[in-house]
Amino acid sequence: MAGHNNSVHMDPALVRYANMYVKRHEFFRWTPKTAWLTVTYVVAVPAAFVYMAFATEGKWEFRGKLKGDTIAEF
């Protein structure tokens, strides 16, 4: 028979996790750990990628090479 909406019980741990996921912004606190992680992932990691991109720009050319040709352009 259809219409039994309360017959399936949710796992309480999953319900708590879903509520925590939705309300995460309400419980966030700036601590030294969260500040350090924020600086690391927002500033340091992109800065490292930009540095490596500029440091290696133009050093290798993969197009138009024959077998045995070097890929280094410097």
pLDDT at position 1, please? 55
63: left (phi over 0), alpha (psi -120 to 50) or beta: beta
Q: Where are the domains of the chain?
A: 30-73
pLDDT tens string 23-57: 999 989 999 999 999 999 999 999 999 999 999 88
pLDDT at position 5, please? 67
Amino acid at 57: E
pLDDT tens string 3-17: 666 667 889 999 999
**Lookup result for tokens 């995460």:** 24
Torsion angles phi and psi, residue 53, rounded to 5: -65, -45
Listing DSSP states for 22-71 in one string gives HTHHHH----HHHHHHHHIIIIIHHHHHHHHHHHSTTSB--TTPPTT---
pLDDT at position 38, please? 94
Q: What is the pTM of this model?
A: 0.55
